[in-house]
């Protein structure tokens, strides 16, 4: 029934800190901050086999895991810039969280660092998912 599907979805999203909960600081987040990049099939062959990827309707395109790219660019879950109250979720490498009083500028500084490290390590430009207004 629909109620069981709902519970399963909520359980999965909660395990990633993607359901607001007073008991879970990882749930105070911007959600998934970057889109999973789509690359050509030939470009996808440059990445290790263990990296999660998905086929696309266009057979020459492959969607890569942005979370995998982030973690394997040396940015672990839970990472935050010194003195910043913005940090990557402890549960989900794509989520930028507010650890209490983070400013929009702190979130963007962390996002830019992530983009720079992923580009330097993998040659992939991560695209932010949120629409940034006023920045």
CA distance 64 to 73: 14
Give residue 61's Cα distance to chain centre: 20
Q: Provide the 10 A C-beta neighbour count for residue 130.
A: 13
Q: Is the pLDDT of residue 16 over 60?
A: no
| CATH class in words for 2-122 | alpha beta
Q: Is 113 exposed, middle or buried (0-12, 13-18, 19+ CB in 10 A)?
A: middle
Confidence of residue 1 (pLDDT cuts 50, 70, 90): confident
Question: For the chain, which residues make up each domain, given as ranges?
Answer: 2-122
Q: Does 11 score more than 90 pLDDT? A: no
The pLDDT assigned to 78 comes to 93
Is residue 33 packed enough to be buried (19+ CB in 10 Å), middle (13-18) or exposed (0-12)?
A: buried
Of the listed ranges 5-14, 40-49, 89-98, the least confidently predicted one is 5-14
**C-alpha–C-alpha distance, residues 121 and 16, integer Å:** 25
How many CB atoms sit inside 10 A of residue 50's CB?
Answer: 7
């Amino acid at each position: 029934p629909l109620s069981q599907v709902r519970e399963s979805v909520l359980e999965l999203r909660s395990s990633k800190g993607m359901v607001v909960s007073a008991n879970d600081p990882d749930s105070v987040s911007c959600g998934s901050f970057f889109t999973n990049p789509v690359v050509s099939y030939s470009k996808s062959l440059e990445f290790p086999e263990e990296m999660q990827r998905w086929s696309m309707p266009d057979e020459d395109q492959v969607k890569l895991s942005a979370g995998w790219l982030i973690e394997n660019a040396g940015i672990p879950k839970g990472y935050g810039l010194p003195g910043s109250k913005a940090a990557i979720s402890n549960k989900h490498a794509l989520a930028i969280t507010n650890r209490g009083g983070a400013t929009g500028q702190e979130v963007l500084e962390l996002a830019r660092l992530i983009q720079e490290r992923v580009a330097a390590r993998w040659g992939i430009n991560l695209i932010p998912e949120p629409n940034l207004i006023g920045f």
